[in-house]
């Protein structure tokens, strides 16, 4: 499950977004029992929660989830807004291999002056009689500011670099990945397409066009090339510098001239090209439009907007092998999507007074998927 549960502080800071709501439904004491009831009802093995407010996490959220059998990990935002991302998993289903928090704030880098965070866990499924790979679960809440696509893309690159490092297996491949969260970007936007396609040519792209939240980009800067400075230590392939190039055991002078020239040419080409890449093959659990009518699904709805900004992406390995009969096709080492919880349209939600309402106590809906791990 991926669920932005709407931090009470943010609700109160942005109260103009919730004028359509009856006052009592906005109180935390009303909202939390509803959210908990929903979580309990859906009974997911893994929860990726966003906007988890620190005080509520300590006093209510964590204790309640622990009593439902979850182990909880939490990463609070840096700076003054006391909310963050949590990943909770059923300890009957997984054991915890590693916890990897990611801070997108970097004091030395002017571009990275925002306090958003991510959290990446490596989980070992507890499957009897089978050797299962670990699975990598990532959760984030990217910057909201519709105009700052430059920051959003860099935050995403930082999360992808951490996922690469965590999901990287001894044989050089990646274990199955689930990347969830609130990306503050809409389907079909450049940021979204980059996640799905694994590449993005951003030449001439206005920073306000990256997330697709706003139409107009008049007077806006275009993305610089490269988007983030080299001292971030993340390549245009979204991996930590030093991770992508296999370690050369020999010293420089042992390299032939041509090898050295080739390496330098590659480095230069990468520096100058206005293109980003990542190494995963990620699918989206949701297709963002109702199959029959083509009406958009929404994951968030309040008085200013109703749209999809939350996602569950997963690695469905494309590698196909013939089944026993020679006709079937199986997926190897990936996740197979078995089911998902339906989303709603904006119109559906306004028939129940938008969000939050009496029953749905966030301004987001929960996203929920069921996967089979292909061994």
Minimum distance from residue 336 beta carbon to ligand KL2 (Å): 29
Identified binder of ligand KL2 from the candidate list 137, 182, 205, 306, rule CB under 6 A: 182
The β-bridge partners of 182 are 141, 310
Distance of CA 323 to the CA centre of its chain: 33
Tell me, what DSSP letter sits at residue 177? E
Nearer to ligand KL2, 71 or 209 (CB): 209
Stretch that binds ligand KL2, among 9-17, 53-61, 104-112, 157-165 (CB under 6 A): 9-17
Give helix 190-197 / helix 149-167 axis angle, nearest 10°. 20
Minimum distance from residue 184 beta carbon to ligand KL2 (Å): 5
Minimum distance from residue 207 beta carbon to ligand KL2 (Å): 17
115-144: which residues touch ligand KL2 (CB under 6 A)? 144
The residue sitting closest to ligand KL2, measured at its beta carbon, is 144
Minimum distance from residue 11 beta carbon to ligand KL2 (Å): 9
Whole-number Å distance between alpha carbons of 209 and 128: 48
Nearer to ligand KL2, 181 or 226 (CB): 181
Q: Are 91 and 70 in contact (CB under 8 A)?
A: yes
Minimum distance from residue 14 beta carbon to ligand KL2 (Å): 5
Beta strands in 16-155 (DSSP E): 46-53, 70-76, 83-90, 94-103, 117-125, 135-141
Nearer to ligand KL2, 72 or 309 (CB): 309
User: What character string, x for contact with ligand KL2 (CB under 6 A) and - otherwise, covers 277-316?
Assistant: -----------------------x--------x-------
Identified binder of ligand KL2 from the candidate list 1, 2, 3, 4, rule CB under 6 A: 4
Residue 91: how many other CB atoms lie within 10 Å: 13
Residue 198 burial (CB < 10 Å; 0-12/13-18/19+)? middle
- Taking CB under 6 A as the rule, does residue 10 contact ligand KL2? yes
Nearer to ligand KL2, 32 or 144 (CB): 144
Nearer to ligand KL2, 26 or 122 (CB): 26
Distance of CA 237 to the CA centre of its chain: 17
User: What character string, x for contact with ligand KL2 (CB under 6 A) and - otherwise, covers 352-371?
Assistant: -----------x--------
Q: Are 163 and 120 in contact (CB under 8 A)?
A: yes
Residue 38: how many other CB atoms lie within 10 Å: 19
199-228: which residues touch ligand KL2 (CB under 6 A)? none
Q: Are 62 and 74 in contact (CB under 8 A)?
A: yes
Tell me, what DSSP letter sits at residue 184? S
Number of residues engaging ligand KL2 in binding (CB under 6 A): 10
Minimum distance from residue 13 beta carbon to ligand KL2 (Å): 7
Q: Which two tokens mark 119? A: 């959290």
Number of residues in the chain: 375
Minimum distance from residue 182 beta carbon to ligand KL2 (Å): 4
Sort strands 306-307 and 275-277 into parallel, antiparallel or unpaired: unpaired
Identified binder of ligand KL2 from the candidate list 14, 217, 275, 303, rule CB under 6 A: 14
Per-residue 3-state assignment (H helix, E strand, C coil) for 85-122: EEEEEECCCEEEEEEEEEECCCCCCCCCCCCCEEEEEE
Minimum distance from residue 285 beta carbon to ligand KL2 (Å): 18
Binding site for ligand KL2 (CB under 6 A): 4, 10, 14, 17, 144, 182, 184, 300, 309, 363
């Amino acid at each position: 499950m991926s669920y932005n549960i709407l931090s009470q502080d943010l609700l109160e800071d942005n109260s103009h977004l919730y004028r359509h709501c009856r006052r009592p439904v906005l109180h935390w004491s009303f909202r939390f029992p509803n959210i908990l009831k929903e979580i309990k009802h859906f009974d997911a093995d893994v929860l990726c929660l966003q906007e988890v407010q620190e005080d509520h996490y300590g006093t209510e959220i964590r204790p309640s989830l622990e009593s439902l059998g979850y182990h909880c990990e939490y990463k609070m935002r840096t700076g003054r807004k006391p909310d963050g991302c949590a990943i909770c998993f059923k300890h009957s289903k997984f054991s915890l291999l590693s916890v990897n928090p990611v801070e997108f704030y970097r004091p030395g880098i002017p571009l990275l002056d925002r306090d958003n965070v991510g959290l990446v866990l490596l989980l070992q499924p507890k499957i009897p009689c089978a050797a299962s790979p670990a699975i990598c679960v990532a959760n984030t809440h990217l910057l909201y500011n519709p105009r700052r696509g430059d920051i959003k893309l860099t935050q995403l690159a930082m999360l992808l670099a951490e996922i690469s490092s965590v999901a990287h297996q001894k044989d050089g491949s990646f274990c199955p990945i689930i990347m969830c969260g609130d990306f503050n970007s809409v389907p079909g936007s450049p940021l979204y397409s980059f996640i799905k396609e694994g590449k993005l040519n951003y030449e001439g792209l206005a920073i306000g066009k990256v997330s697709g939240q706003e139409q107009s980009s008049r007077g806006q800067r275009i993305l610089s090339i490269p988007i983030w400075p080299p001292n971030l230590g993340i390549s245009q392939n979204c991996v930590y510098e030093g991770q992508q190039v296999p370690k050369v055991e020999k010293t420089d002078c042992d390299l032939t001239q041509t090898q050295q020239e080739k390496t330098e040419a590659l480095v230069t080409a990468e520096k100058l090209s206005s293109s980003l890449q990542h190494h995963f093959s990620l699918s989206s659990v949701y297709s963002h439009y109702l199959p029959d009518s083509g009406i958009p699904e929404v994951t968030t709805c309040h008085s200013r907007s109703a749209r999809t900004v939350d996602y569950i992406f997963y690695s469905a390995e494309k590698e196909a092998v013939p089944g026993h009969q020679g006709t079937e096709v199986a997926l190897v080492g990936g996740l197979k999507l078995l089911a998902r919880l339906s989303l709603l349209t904006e119109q559906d939600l306004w028939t129940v007074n938008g969000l939050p309402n009496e029953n749905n106590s966030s301004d987001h809906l929960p996203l929920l998927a069921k996967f089979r791990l292909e061994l």
